[in-house]
Chain A
Amino acid sequence: MTMEATRYDDGTITYPGHPRGPDGAEPVETIDLSEYTAEVVTWTTSTATPPGVREPNHLAIVEFDVSEASDDASSSRTQSGDDGASVRAIGQLTTGDVETGDEVRPVYVDELREPGAGIREPESQAWDGYRFEPL
C-alpha cells in the first residue's frame, strides 16, 4: 500500500492524482507520501459522523515537503503549497491531541470506514489508507 501523489509535466503535484493536472498537464511520475512526514495545516474533530465512520472523527489537512523527490523540484510548483515542492493531503488523525504546525507521519490502516455502511457503492473505491500520527 502506498499513498501516491502525482507530479505533472508542469511541475504541479497533487494528492490524489488525476488523469490530468491543472490546465490539462500530463502526469509524469508518482511520489509515495507514506515515506515522508508532514505538517498539520489545520485540523478538526467531527462529532456528527456518517454511517460507518468512527465517532469522534479527528481529521487534518497536512502538508508534505517532497523536495527530495525530484532533481528539479526547486522549479516546480504545487497546487497546494505553491512553494516549490510541497503537496497537501487530508486524512484521519490517530488522536485529537494535536495542534496546527505539529509534525505527523502516515500510518497504514486497513479500514478507515466501514464499506457499505454509507451510500457509496463498496466496490467503487478503496477503504484502506493512512492516518496521520503526531511525532
Chain B
Amino acid sequence: MERVAIIGASMTQFGHREGEWITDLLAAAGSDCLEDAGVDASDVEHLYVSNMTSGEFEGQTGVMNALVHDIGAIPAYTQRVDQTSASGGAGIYAAWQSIESGASDMTLLVGGEKMTHRSTAETTDIIASVTHPVEYNAGVTLPSFAGLTARHYLERFDAPRESLGKVAVKNHKNGVDNPHAQFRKEVDLETVLESPIVADPLRLYDFCPITDGSAALLFCPESVAREYTDDYAVVTGVDGATDTQVVHERADPTVMDGVVESGNGAYEMSGLAPADIDVAELHDMFTILEFLQMEGLGFAEQGEAWKRVEDGDTERDTGELPTNTSGGLKSKGHPLGASGVAQGVEIYEQLVGEAGPRQVDADAGLCCNVGGFGNCVITTIMEAAR
C-alpha cells in the first residue's frame, strides 16, 4: 500500500480578522495551499472542511459547499468534519483515509473558524455547549474543567504552580517567530502568575485566546507527491479515540484515555516510539493540557511532565523534545476547527525544512488535537520523506 504524503500547507494570519468571515478565511487558506503545492484546483478530488461551529457563531452552514465553489474545485467530493476542537485532527484522519483507501488521489483539507465577533461570554457558552446537561446546568465551562484538573494535578503530584506558568512562557516565546501567530510577544513568569484568575488556580495566561483563522494541508499518494516535489512529509501514523463526555466519570482526572489510545494507535501504525519523536505540537488550549498530553503520549511518566518542563526538555532550541514550536494554541491562537490543521502545518514545515527561525532538527513529528476536555482526540505522526 502506498504511503500518504503531504505536499502543501498554508495558514492565514491568526487573530482578529476584521471584516473577514468563515468563507473568506477558508478560501484564503485553501487557495494558498494549492498554490504552495503547485496543484490546480481542478485536480482536487476530495475536499474536507474542519469546522466546529460556523452555524452557531455566524449563521453560516454548508461551509464545505461554499468552499468548493469559492476555490473553483467543483465537482470535488466535499464534507464538513466536526469533532469540536479536534475537528482539524479529525480532518487529517479523514483526508488520510481518503487517500489510503484509494478513493482520492488529491485531497485538500481546510480548517477554519470565525469567532472574535462574539463576546467572550457568548464564545465560552458556544464552546461549553459540548457539555452534558448536568455540566451545562452547573455553568461548567471548558476553562473551569481546566481549573478543576490543574488543582488536582498540582496537589496530587506536588507540582509547583510555576511549572504551568513556564508552559505559557515557552509557548509565547516560540510564537514570536511565527509570522501567523496571534500573539508575537514574550511574557515572563511573573506576568503569567499575576494575571487575573479565570478558573482558580489558573489565570489568564494559562488560557489560549479567542481567534479567527484558517489553515490547510494537501494530501496525495507518495507516487503522486514525487511528480510535484522532492520535499514532502508522510503521514506514517494516525489514530483517533474517545473518552467520556461527562468529564468527572473518568477513572483518573489526570488521564485522558483518548490521548493514550490515539497515541498508542499512531505509534503502532508508524512503528515509532515516543523516544523517536523529534518535535511535537500539543493541544495547549490550557497549560495543564500540555502536561496531560506529554504523559498520555509517553513523553513523561504520570505526574512528571512538569519536571521535564522545569528541566527545559520542551524548549525549542535546547530541549530534547521541542514542544509547540509554532507557539501552540496558547500564542498562535485557537480558531477551533483550524487548530488541528495548523498543528499539522507546523509539523509539515518542520519536516520539509520550511520553519524558518523556528526550525529544529526533525525527522519525525507528532501532533495531538484534543476535542472538548479530552472527549475526542486525534494523534498524527508525520515523517520527512528525505
Contacts and interface: CB of A to CB of B under 8 A. Distances in A.
Interface string B121-137: 11011101100111111
A50 B121 CA distance: 5
A57 B125 contact: no
A53 B363 CA distance: 48
Nearest to B132: A16
A54 B139 contact: yes
B151 to A, nearest CB: 5
Nearest to A49: B139
A59 B138 contact: yes
Contact of B248 (A53, A89, A112, A127): A89
A90 B251 contact: no
Interface stretch (B39-47, B80-88, B109-117, B193-201): B193-201
A30 interface: no
B139 A48 contact: no
Contacts of A48: 120-121, 124, 141, 143, 198-199
Nearest to B153: A42
A90 B137 contact: no
Interface residues of A, number: 40
B140 interface: yes
A127 B137 CA distance: 6
A47 B137 contact: no
Contact of A100 (B132, B151, B200): B151
Interface residues of B, number: 42
A44 to B, nearest CB: 3
Contacts of B287: none
A44 B199 contact: yes
B199 A14 contact: no
B138 to A, nearest CB: 5
Contacts, number: 135
Given A44-B144, A112-B137, A120 B129 contact: yes
Contacts of A79: 244, 249-251
Interface of chain B, main secondary structure: helix
Interface string A85-106: 0001111100000001000000
Interface in B247-305: 247-251, 253
A42 B141 contact: no
B274 to A, nearest CB: 26
B138 A112 contact: yes
Contacts of B136: 118, 120, 125
Contact of B121 (A51, A57, A100, A120): A51
Nearest to B127: A50
B321 to A, nearest CB: 28
A44 B247 contact: no
A43 B248 contact: no
B149 interface: yes
A80 B126 contact: no
A100 B156 CA distance: 11
B3 interface: no
Contacts of B148: 42-44, 59-61, 90
Interface in A13-32: 14-16
Nearest to A125: B133
Contacts of B149: 42
A126 B137 contact: yes
Contacts of A129: 134, 137-138
Nearest to A118: B125
6 contacts: A45-B197, A48-B143, A90-B138, A91-B138, A92-B139, A126-B133
Interface of A: 14-16, 41-54, 57, 59-61, 79-80, 82, 88-92, 100, 112-113, 118-120, 124-127, 129
